[in-house]
Amino acid sequence: MTKSLLLIEDTPSLQMIYKSVLESGGHNVKTSATAEDGLALFRKEKPQVVLLDLMLPDRDGLDLMKDCLALKPDAKFIVITANGSINRAVDAMRAGAYEFLVKPFNEQRFLHAVETALTDTASPTAKNGASVEPVGSFIGSSTAMQQVYRKIRSVSRSMATVFITGESGTGKEICAQALHDHSNRASGPFVPLNCGAIPSDLLESEVFGHLKGSFTGAISDKPGAAAVADGGTLFLDEICELDMNLQAKLLRFLQTSSIQPVGASHPQKVNVRIICASNRDPMEEVRQGRFREDLYYRLYVVPIHLPPLRDRDNDVVEVAETELRNYAEIEGKQFQRLSPEVQSLFRELPWPGNIRQMKNVLRTIVVMNDGPQVTTDMLPDNLRDELVYTTTIPIQTSPPEETATMGLDGLIGKTLAEIERQVIEETIAYFDGSIPKASKVLDVSPSTIYRKVEAWKETDQ
């Protein structure tokens, strides 16, 4: 027998059924029909897992869950809701629920959710203070990444949709793969699909498949990514790139678990867990009218944000030296480490391309040089120049001479945002495109300028 479970369900018939199923699975179950009695039992029993109907007669179930989690933060709540209240379940996940079940559900799904929650509660890595080993192909032990590892281990066994955000090159696909590998679907397929790399007119076929003759060039039946991922995980990278028409079809797929290939007359059921990712802020995409709000609430259930490399402390050196040795082995070279000077410089670089940019730099170094350690003279010219200026260029307290006498000419009538862009772009141009030099003059971090420049590029497209 396990430690007691707490079931809070106000419908007598359902309470009896749920309790019978749990007891047949070897669990000791305490039951309550009201929020008041449920809270009293929670305080007394301190259960590992609580099964909670969100619709209670005397109080909102979500508020009850928040009060209970304040008393026992490591408790796992499995919320039960009707299909018409799915948004409430999403709210509960954001408030700290471990999993949600939509009525009706079968006995196996019910018991599996409970067993998974109990397993995670018993794991030492579930404790907030415990050190967590890297998962998947991630490298680094910084505080920021510890939080990511902990969250991956916590949510991997859930069926809840995970939305991964982070700048390009931070490892969103690595995160998705780790979620799949630590889930109960690990033996099933992991199917990644980059929504931004496929022409919009072919994307529907890539996701949902097509039948022979359904359009020009469809010379045979083709299963889509959703069908290929049946029994496993479908990873939709750059999800914010989907056009509105396909967003509507994706929403219908999430609601029905059914797909309809292009040219097919009948839908087919698939069993797929969805993980998605974007380097954009999905809520901002909703505000701008580029992403459906209802789809956002369906997908943004469990968010995981990957920190940029510049915010990962000494991970920069750990990642660099690990990748350096990997490339050295591939190329038959002797590299083992970075020199202390290069370590210091790597920590100071903003790395706008994150790990992807770092790996390109290291591959170039390994191909062009050899030795036990990387020294500053081995760095690519453009990188070495930026690093040197990042650390040595004096901060100017006045603008360059050419712009110092400009006064307000050409600025009157422009918005503050337009003036900011003009000043930044002219300063970068003055220093022959060097953002680190411009950042010293403007007294802002290079990463701030990199982000603004990328945002302007997207706006201009």
Q: For 52-106, what is each residue's pLDDT tens digit?
A: 998 899 998 999 999 999 898 888 999 988 755 667 777 788 788 888 887 777 7
Residues 104 and 210 in one domain: no
Residues 157 and 10 in one domain: no
457: Cβ contacts below 8 Å, ≥ 6 apart: none
pLDDT at 396: 42
Residues 154 and 280 in one domain: yes
pLDDT at 230: 94
What is the C-alpha to C-alpha distance for residues 435 and 432, in angstroms, rounded to an integer?
9
Residues 322 and 436 in one domain: no
Which whole number is the average pLDDT over 278-290?
Answer: 91
Percentage of the chain lying above the pLDDT 70 cut: 89
What are the phi and psi torsion angles at 330 (to 5°)? -65, -45
pLDDT at 111: 84
Residues 149 and 208 in one domain: yes
Q: Give 372-424 pLDDT, tens digit per residue.
A: 999 988 988 767 555 554 544 443 434 444 444 445 556 777 888 888 888 88
pLDDT at 349: 87
Task: Identify the bridge partners of residue 7 per DSSP, sorted by sequence position.
Answer: 31, 51
Please state whether beta strands 373-374 and 49-53 pair in parallel, antiparallel, or not at all (unpaired): unpaired
Q: Give 326-368 pLDDT, tens digit per residue.
A: 999 999 999 999 999 899 889 888 898 899 999 999 999 999 9
Q: In what order do the strands lie in the sheet with 99-103?
A: 29-32, 5-8, 49-53, 76-82, 99-103
Residues 182 and 238 in one domain: yes
Which whole number is the average pLDDT over 215-229?
Answer: 86
What is the C-alpha to C-alpha distance for residues 230 and 190, in angstroms, rounded to an integer?
9
pLDDT at 65: 93
Structure-derived torsion over alpha carbons of residues 246, 170, 190, 161, reported in degrees to the nearest 10: -60
Q: Of the candidates 305, 320, 350, which is a domain's last residue?
A: 305
Q: Of the candidates 122, 154, 187, which is a domain's last residue?
A: 122
- Nearest-10 crossing angle of helices 416-430, 446-460: 110
- Domain total for the chain? 4
Reference 37, options 53, 58, 60, 51; nearest CA is 58
Q: How confident is the model at residue 131 (pLDDT cuts 50, 70, 90)?
A: low
State the sign of the Cα–Cα–Cα–Cα dihedral 237, 239, 245, 246. positive
What is the C-alpha to C-alpha distance for residues 180 and 152, in angstroms, rounded to an integer?
10
**Would residue 380 count as lying in a domain?**
yes
Residues 157 and 285 in one domain: yes
Q: Of the candidates 87, 122, 157, which is a domain's last residue?
A: 122
Domain with 320 in it? 310-392
What is the C-alpha to C-alpha distance for residues 131 and 154, in angstroms, rounded to an integer?
14
Q: What is the SS3 assignment for 268?
A: strand
Domain CATH for 287: 3.40.50.300
